[in-house]
Amino acid sequence: MLSTITITDEDCKIILNNSEYKEHQYSGKELLPFTEGRSGVLGEHYKLKIKLKETPEVVKCFVKRVSKFNKKEEGFYGKIVPKLFEYQIESTKEVLPKCYYIKNSEYIVLEDLNRCGFFSINTKSLLNVTQVDHLLSSLAKYHAASITYEIKKGKELDKDFQLCEEFPDELKEVYYRNFPDGKDVLLSIKNTIASQINLFEDIVCKSAPKDKLITSLEQLWDSIKDYAKPSQQYKNVMCHGDLWQSNLMYSTSKSQFAIIDQQMIRYCPPALDVMGFIYLTTDKELRNNHLNTLLKKYYCYLRNELQKYQIYLDVLIPEEEFLKSCEHYKLFAIMQAFSYAQITYIPCQLFEKIMGGDDGKTKFLFESRASVVKNLCEEEPEYKKRQLDVLIDFVEYAEKNI
pLDDT at 112: 95
Q: To 10 degrees, what angle do helices 370-379 and 185-199 make?
A: 40
pLDDT at 38: 40
Indicate whether 217 pLDDT > 70.
yes
pLDDT at 71: 84
Average pLDDT for the chain:
92
Last residue of a domain, one of 98, 116, 134: 116
Give the rounded percent of residues in the chain with a pLDDT score beyond 70: 95
235-282 pLDDT, tens digit per residue, is: 999 999 999 999 999 999 999 999 999 999 999 999 999 999 999 999
Least confident of 23-27, 124-128, 207-211, 234-238: 207-211
Give the CATH number, domain containing residue 108.
Answer: 3.30.200
347 within domain boundaries? yes
Residues 261 and 377 in one domain: yes
pLDDT band at 37 (very low <50, low <70, confident <90, very high): very low
What pTM was computed for the model?
0.94
Residues 69 and 212 in one domain: no
1 within domain boundaries? no
Average pLDDT over residues 149-156: 97
Residues 251 and 234 in one domain: yes
pLDDT at 183: 65
Give the CATH number, domain containing residue 363.
Answer: 3.90.1200
With 0-12 / 13-18 / 19 or more C-beta atoms within 10 angstroms meaning exposed / middle / buried, residue 314 is exposed
- The secondary structure of residue 224, as a DSSP letter, is H
pLDDT at 132: 98
Q: Distance between CA 50 and CA 19 in Å, rounded?
A: 11
Least confident of 13-27, 52-66, 310-324, 340-354: 340-354
Residues 106 and 141 in one domain: no
State how far the alpha carbon of 379 is from the alpha carbons of 301, 372, 388, in Å: 43, 11, 14
Average pLDDT over residues 330-358: 89
pLDDT at 363: 77
- The secondary structure of residue 229, as a DSSP letter, is S
Indicate whether 40 pLDDT > 60.
no
pLDDT at 207: 83
Residues 61 and 180 in one domain: no
Average pLDDT over residues 193-210: 91
pLDDT at 54: 86
Spatial CA neighbour of 39 closest among 391, 292, 360, 342: 360
Least confident of 3-7, 142-146, 204-208, 239-243: 3-7
pLDDT at 182: 55
Spatial CA neighbour of 6 closest among 105, 107, 102, 99: 107
pLDDT band at 16 (very low <50, low <70, confident <90, very high): very high
Find the domain containing 325 and state its range: 124-401
Average pLDDT over residues 57-68: 90
pLDDT band at 39 (very low <50, low <70, confident <90, very high): very low
pLDDT at 352: 79
Residues 182 and 297 in one domain: yes
Q: Which own/partner pairs from 20-29 qualify as long-range (CB within 8 Å, at least 24 positions apart)? A: 21/50, 21/52, 21/57, 21/59, 24/52, 24/53, 24/54, 24/55, 25/52, 25/53, 25/54, 26/50, 26/51, 26/52, 26/53, 27/51, 27/52, 27/53
Last residue of a domain, one of 82, 116, 150: 116
Non-local (6+) Cβ contacts of 210 within 8 A are 197, 198, 201
Q: Distance between CA 326 and CA 304 in Å, rounded?
A: 19
Average pLDDT over residues 223-230: 96
Please state the domain count of the chain: 2
Spatial CA neighbour of 331 closest among 199, 192, 219, 197: 219
72-124 pLDDT, tens digit per residue, is: 999 999 999 999 999 999 999 999 999 999 998 899 999 999 999 999 999 99
Residues 110 and 128 in one domain: no
With 0-12 / 13-18 / 19 or more C-beta atoms within 10 angstroms meaning exposed / middle / buried, residue 120 is middle
2 within domain boundaries? no
Average pLDDT over residues 124-132: 96
274-308 pLDDT, tens digit per residue, is: 999 999 999 999 999 999 999 999 999 999 999 99
Last residue of a domain, one of 116, 132, 156: 116
pLDDT band at 41 (very low <50, low <70, confident <90, very high): low
- The secondary structure of residue 379, as a DSSP letter, is H
239 within domain boundaries? yes
Indicate whether 36 pLDDT > 60.
no
Spatial CA neighbour of 228 closest among 189, 272, 261: 272
Average pLDDT over residues 22-42: 77
State how far the alpha carbon of 315 is from the alpha carbons of 52, 137, 312, 321, in Å: 52, 20, 6, 11
Residues 105 and 151 in one domain: no
Exposure string (b/e) for 175-195, b if CB count within 10 Å is 16 or more?
A: bbeebeeeebbbbbbbbbbbb
Strands 45-52 vs 26-33: parallel, antiparallel or unpaired: antiparallel
Indicate whether 185 pLDDT > 90.
no
Residues 355 and 249 in one domain: yes
